[in-house]
Amino acid sequence: NADNPGVWLMHCHIDWHFVLGLAMLFVEAEDVLRDEGLGAFSSNMLLSVCNGNFTL
């Protein structure tokens, strides 16, 4: 059961693949995002990402 609402970028770790557009977005809990907006995210998570910590 995924409990991390958001839009997540998925890409290969070969840089030129990413440059060529070989990436995709996963939208997790679209209904929660639509209903709650930024309220779907905890303030700790938002601060963590803004501070460069992408391993939530």
Which amino acid, one-letter code, is at 12? C
Res 56: pLDDT = 47
- Report pLDDT digits (tens) over 1-56: 667 788 888 877 777 877 788 888 888 888 888 888 777 777 676 677 777 766 54
Res 54: pLDDT = 61
In angstroms, what CA-CA distances link 26 with 10, 21, 44?
7, 15, 22
Q: What is the largest CA-CA distance in the chain?
A: 37
- Domain residue spans of the chain: 6-50
